[in-house]
Amino acid sequence: MPFNEENYNRLVEELFKRFPSVQQTPFQHAYKPGLERMKAFNAALGYPDRRFRSIHVAGTNGKGSVANMLASALASAGIRTGLFTSPHLLDFRERMRVAAPLELIPREYVYDFLTRWWPWIEENGLSFFEITAGMAFRWFADEKVEAAVVEVGLGGRLDATNILTPVLSLVTTIGLDHCAYLGNTLAEIAAEKAGIFKEGVPALVGETQPETRPVFEEKARDFCPLRFADQGIPRLYSFASMIVSEMDLAAPVQRKKNLKTVLTAVEMLQPLPGFEALQDVPKVMVGIAHTARRMGFHGRWEKLWENPDVICDIGHNPQALAYSFDTLRSYLEKGRYSALYIVYGVMADKDLDAILPLMPREARWFFATPATPRALPAAEILRRFQAAGGTDAAAFDTVPEAVQAAFDRSREAEKPLLFIGGSTFVVADALPLFFRV
């Protein structure tokens, strides 16, 4: 069938039905660890990964932000840059981007790729993530990108993206998340992330933690050069004052942690062939400062509305939410806002017991059930919140209902702030209320 919008939408709908992503189905039904299927797919595609230089990014928190900031820096310096990330929020083509100028993978390309490779994909039992990774690599090669920043889907060692041999392996921070698949301790999870290290390829770890540092050092010993971004001050950090006040990724963690990781990565890339353009530091800084706008990057402490102010963030595990909730509390304490309204949802596999003590009790809570089978019902969140001593809370069947109720309630305050978060899926359900899809 020829390409048209109707045929495209039908094929993409079939893709999601036949090869469900972790956004649509319980994790254990969508997640397929291991590299053999991806290696075979990559070979069938003609080894597109060998036609561009890659930077491989793993981590529990911050990997999406770091990947986008780094891609924006490269593109701003004049390097044609591909970016592969997951999950998506509004359109699954967000996973595959080229900059500059910013371009999502075209619908025509998606249609032609899926039409051509569908029989092979079905015969070899690929996962949704493997299909999109292969599509991205082939598109990057066809688009003649010079470099691609590739975000790990889950873990590292057994992730489909680990077929890459990058010029830099990067791990942001380590936290307890996806423990059923990656391990129950920080050290075990770090070992999975360190699985992206390649022999002789420089490796960068964003944060030094007592439990994880020995794991990374052991993996790198006599294998690859290793650097920790928070050990010492990167040379480029002296330029950070140029952009801190301008950064459109406005969360404190971006400036305190992720910026230093990105600047260290840029320093490590500057001497490498193909990255000479990164010597133009002002262009690099402009790219980092305007990451969200340049890369079409949503959901990271993003301001969606004014009067009342609405901020969303996809941080979902205790480590990430601690930053978010502490920042929201500080806004109240400093008088920036007089009242806080939070639309919150969580996946059933997340550690809600560890999150409950972090929740600001001075907020009004609007618990929501996002549209995914993985979600914990809002009524159950409410029950556990109240059992933990929480008050001023209500449960809603959908995110839009919760957002509307929070908007209505916020009219009682002089300077209200509405925060939407707790899960990628909550933010994904909320964004169409503010952006035309």
Alpha carbon distances (Å) from 401 to 179, 342, 397: 32, 13, 7
Residue 178 has pLDDT above 70, yes or no: no
Structure tokens at 167: 């010029």
SS3 390: coil
What's the pLDDT score for residue 27? 55
| Nearest-angstrom CA–CA distance, 279 and 239 | 13
What's the pLDDT score for residue 309? 96
What domains can you pick out in the chain, each with its CATH number?
Answer: 5-295 (3.40.1190.10), 302-433 (3.90.190.20)
Residue 193 has pLDDT above 90, yes or no: yes
CA 41 to chain centre: 24
Helix (H) or strand (E) holding 156: none
What's the pLDDT score for residue 26? 58
Q: Are 172 and 206 in contact (CB under 8 A)?
A: yes
Give the other-Cβ count within 10 Å of 26's Cβ: 15
Q: What is the pLDDT of residues 333-388, one digit of tens each?
A: 999 999 999 999 999 988 999 999 999 999 999 999 999 988 999 999 999 999 99
What's the pLDDT score for residue 350? 87
The pTM for the full model equals 0.89
- Give Dmax over CA atoms of the chain in angstroms: 62
What's the pLDDT score for residue 320? 86
Mean pLDDT (whole number) for 232-245: 80
Structure tokens at 123: 């015969």
What are residue 367's DSSP bridge partners? 344, 395
| Nearest-angstrom CA–CA distance, 151 and 164 | 11
| Nearest-angstrom CA–CA distance, 272 and 385 | 51
Alpha carbon distances (Å) from 201 to 54, 73, 413: 11, 21, 54
Mean pLDDT (whole number) for 35-46: 97
Give the residue from 210, 221, 157 showing the smallest Cα distance to 185: 210
Identify the band that residue 160 occupies on the pLDDT scale cut at 50, 70 and 90: very high
| Nearest-angstrom CA–CA distance, 46 and 40 | 10
Q: Angle of helix 36-44 relative to helix 128-142, nearest 10 degrees?
A: 30
| Nearest-angstrom CA–CA distance, 73 and 70 | 5
What's the pLDDT score for residue 365? 98
Q: Are 339 and 417 in contact (CB under 8 A)?
A: yes
Listed in sequence order, the DSSP H helices in 244-333 are 252-253, 259-269, 281-289, 291-295, 318-333
What's the pLDDT score for residue 245? 81
Mean pLDDT (whole number) for 251-271: 88
Q: Are 32 and 127 in contact (CB under 8 A)?
A: yes
Q: Are 420 and 401 in contact (CB under 8 A)?
A: no
Mean pLDDT (whole number) for 309-317: 92
| Nearest-angstrom CA–CA distance, 121 and 131 | 7
Q: DSSP string spanning 3-21? A: --HHHHHHHHHHHHHHS--
* 176 vs 204, more confident: 204
Q: Are 343 and 402 in contact (CB under 8 A)?
A: yes
Tokens 């449960």 belong to which residue?
A: 395
| Nearest-angstrom CA–CA distance, 420 and 64 | 18
Tokens 């420089």 belong to which residue?
A: 202
Mean pLDDT (whole number) for 159-185: 87
CA 102 to chain centre: 18
Structure tokens at 324: 């978010």
In this prediction, what percent of the chain has a pLDDT beyond 90?
Answer: 78
Give the residue from 225, 239, 217, 299 showing the smallest Cα distance to 268: 225
What's the pLDDT score for residue 183? 78
Q: Are 287 and 75 in contact (CB under 8 A)?
A: yes
